[in-house]
Amino acid sequence: MAKSATPPLETSLDNLEALVERMESGELTLEESLQAFEQGVRLSRQCQQALQQAEQKVRILLEQNNEAEPAPFSGDSDEQ
């Protein structure tokens, strides 16, 4: 199976955060700012798509097990 060319969500978020910091520094030229903005829009769309795919996977998993219900997470798995 071929891997997707889209970077993982965490990588995209890190890149987007770094890009915003560069833009907020005020040291970019107008042309650099426009390029950074375009890249930011692409990264934002990648993040949104990754989140939508994850949400769809959760829906599919819940549909496969009709008895499954969301429950609060308890980090103490030894207590039962």
Please identify which residue in the block is written with the tokens 């833009």: 23
pLDDT tier, 71 (very low <50, low <70, confident <90, very high otherwise):
confident
| pTM for the whole structure | 0.65
| Among 79, 77, 5, 78, CA closest to 46 | 5
Q: Which long-range contacts (CB under 8 A, 24 or more apart) does 38-43 make?
A: 40/16, 43/12, 43/15, 43/16, 43/19
pLDDT tier, 80 (very low <50, low <70, confident <90, very high otherwise):
very low
Determine the pLDDT at residue 4. 55
**Cα–Cα distance measured from residue 14 to residue 53, given in angstroms and rounded to the nearest whole number:** 19
Q: Which of 4-8, 20-24, 36-40 has the lowest mean pLDDT?
A: 4-8
**Cα–Cα distance measured from residue 44 to residue 16, given in angstroms and rounded to the nearest whole number:** 7
Determine the pLDDT at residue 1. 41
Query: Can you read off the two tokens belonging to residue 25?
Result: 């520094």
Better pLDDT: 76 or 15 = 15
- Summarised one tens digit per residue, pLDDT across range 25-68 is 999 999 999 999 999 999 999 999 999 999 999 888 888 877 76
